[in-house]
Amino acid sequence: MIVLRLNPLKIYVFTSFTNLMDLLSSYLAFSYGYVELNGFMPITHNSYLACLLSVMVFQLLISVVYYVSRFYGNVSIINVVLGIAKIVVSIHNLSLIM
């Protein structure tokens, strides 16, 4: 039987960092004329605010997953996947401005 030894706090910090990188790379892309296309855009009509709201909701999601993973250790795999997804999004944002 394979037992994964995951540290939920380190994974939470990793995912929070990638979430911050998404926010910063999005703001950098906005300065080059790109716009946000998430669900908050029709409400706020401002790319910066829509991006900030989506990052805050994502941070709330990963915080809930972190809290649950303290009791059920393997749940932190969800945060690993979400962190990797944010890396892909950050790379996409940076590729827009290159």
- Distance from C-alpha of 42 to C-alpha of 93, rounded to nearest angstrom: 21
Q: Per-residue pLDDT tens for 29-48? A: 999 999 998 899 999 999 99
User: Is residue 3 situated within a structural domain?
Assistant: no
- Distance from C-alpha of 19 to C-alpha of 62, rounded to nearest angstrom: 10
Instruction: Residue 89: give the domain boundaries.
Output: 8-97
Q: Looking at the predicted structure, is the pLDDT value of residue 4 above 70?
A: no
Q: What is the model's pLDDT at position 49? A: 96
User: Is residue 1 situated within a structural domain?
Assistant: no
Q: What is the model's pLDDT at position 96? A: 92
Q: Looking at the predicted structure, is the pLDDT value of residue 1 above 90?
A: no
User: What residues contact residue 22 under an 8 Å CB cut-off, 6+ apart?
Assistant: 55, 86, 89, 90, 93
Domain count for the chain, please give it: 1
Rounded to the nearest 10 degrees, the angle between the axes of helix 76-97 and helix 8-30 is 20
User: Is residue 2 situated within a structural domain?
Assistant: no
**Residue in the structure block whose two tokens are 């990052």:** 55
Q: Per-residue pLDDT tens for 54-96? A: 999 999 999 999 999 988 878 889 999 999 999 999 999 999 9
